Chains A and B, each alone.
Chain A
């Protein structure tokens, strides 16, 4: 009971601070996802036309996934220090974009590849250009898978984004970070819970968007 009281107490006293961190977190993850979609979806679509490159790119993105986030942040400090951005928002953003590539590229690639070959054949046979085929047939039919990739990437990024606090990117990770160094379990707990809630809300929101974007017939 004591823990819950502490928890609620901390919450009410620091609500403004928590809200600020949450906002920072959303900003970081949101921007990262938008950039990731802009890179990953076109790349995934392009890869369906280039089998050899597809294998290589998917391999690379898989390897990126296996790098522990803390190590990736570490690697970027010396590299980005060259432009004076070794710590803070930029390295965190780049790391999140890199981590998002696997789910987004792979799902887009698979989604487009998995469109029923008969449908593709029909689209070709009735005289659609490559672009029309993509826009009117392939992307709409791959939409559920593409959106599933975006959802996975978003939830993943909300979690990894918490670690970005270690390189000074702010966000809800700051609560956890500070809580650990001050041995303040309540702070750590609040940070963790808010990150989780954020992940759940984001996922539900994207699920709704996914439904909106997916054509009714599918």
Chain B
């Protein structure tokens, strides 16, 4: 869907913001561009919808070089969300959300139906918000509206520039969850800029880690966490990267890899669902909530039990020889 071919961005003839970047984003893939400030991630994003000019190389969008596309038309086909939401203060929520369909000349009925649908998608009541203005909404609500606006004309591609960056951790977390749900439904091809590796791990199908305009590693989150390609990646993802990676796996994954043990009826047990993330399992085990955790499937059937040993074995299998400093030791 989006192809970056040796893309570079040079400012003032000398400063290289993006340096010879090449990677592909497949249809329906959710790719996070992550890296420290000034690594060129936002510039890279903004070159896709030509808010920044491409100095060298090509970005291919749907088999066409973006340079050859009409800027105005192509931007209307790309959802764009920015950190400070960028809602127009002079327009009502309905006008804000429906701005692109409006520019595209949709008729009233179609616009109204779309507005109602989008508001339900983002979990806000259409009639309650229709006539209100952005400044009357909370930060989280404004950002939801920003997302709805980007989805309005049902663009196949979304560009999101730290959309949840300015929100407090609780709201950010909730919006991330909500957005993942929305993505499950709408299946857009998404390029998402973040400076937060946790957000990247949580949200992305793939992560492109950048430094000084160059891609350090481009892979699935678990690969980046478990097999960092170099010193920089390893530092950026943090010493606790193995712990972080546990949030990517569920008990089911563990069962498939190393299997569960039969459970001991006499011992003190606690039942958990098999889609629970290993991070939570780990926390429960370390917290001594029970001697053994009994795993149940969706229908309440007990499948077996699990202890710290299982988690350790699983992680060893996943991380392999590259594991260093695993914070897992049981007494």
Query: Which residues does A use to contact B, with CB under 8 Å?
Result: 116, 118-119, 121-129, 132, 136-137, 140-141, 215-218
Contacts and interface: CB of A to CB of B under 8 A. Distances in A.
B134 interface: yes
B73 to A, nearest CB: 7
18 contacts: A123-B88, A124-B51, A125-B51, A125-B159, A126-B75, A126-B80, A126-B149, A127-B73, A127-B103, A128-B72, A137-B88, A140-B90, A141-B90, A215-B90, A215-B91, A216-B133, A217-B91, A218-B90
Interface string B135-161: 100000000000001100000000100
A127 to B, nearest CB: 3
A20 to B, nearest CB: 42
Contacts of B49: 125
A218 B90 CA distance: 6
Contacts of A116: 84
B191 interface: no
B99 interface: yes
A127 B50 CA distance: 11
> Among A123, A126, A128, which residue has the most Cβ atoms of chain B within 10 A?
A126
B89 interface: yes
A119 B99 CA distance: 13
Contact of B89 (A124, A132, A217): A217
A119 B76 contact: no
A118 B89 contact: no
Interface string B74-99: 11110010111111111110000001
A53 to B, nearest CB: 23
B100 interface: yes
A118 B82 contact: yes
A196 B159 CA distance: 57
Given A119-B86, A122-B86, 19 more contacts: A116-B84, A118-B84, A118-B85, A119-B89, A121-B82, A121-B86, A122-B87, A123-B86, A125-B75, A125-B86, A126-B100, A127-B71, A128-B99, A129-B72, A141-B88, A141-B90, A215-B91, A216-B133, A217-B90
Contacts, number: 75
A127 B74 CA distance: 7
Given A118-B82, A132-B103, A217-B135, A127 B76 contact: yes
Interface of B: 49, 51, 71-77, 80, 82-92, 99-100, 103, 133-135, 149-150, 159
B117 to A, nearest CB: 19
B100 A127 contact: yes
Contacts of B83: 118
A69 B118 CA distance: 59
B53 to A, nearest CB: 13
A218 B87 CA distance: 12
Given A119-B86, A121-B82, A126 B99 contact: yes
A125 B91 CA distance: 17
A118 B88 CA distance: 10
A116 B85 CA distance: 11
A83 to B, nearest CB: 44
Contacts of A137: 88, 90
| Shortest Cβ-Cβ A-B pairs, 8 listed | A122-B86, A217-B133, A127-B75, A127-B76, A215-B90, A125-B80, A140-B90, A118-B84
A95 to B, nearest CB: 35
A179 to B, nearest CB: 48
Contacts of B72: 127-129
A123 to B, nearest CB: 7
Nearest to B83: A118
A123 B49 CA distance: 12
Nearest to A120: B86
A129 B71 CA distance: 9
Contacts of A217: 88-92, 133-135
Nearest to B99: A126
Nearest to A132: B103
A136 B49 CA distance: 21
Nearest to B102: A136
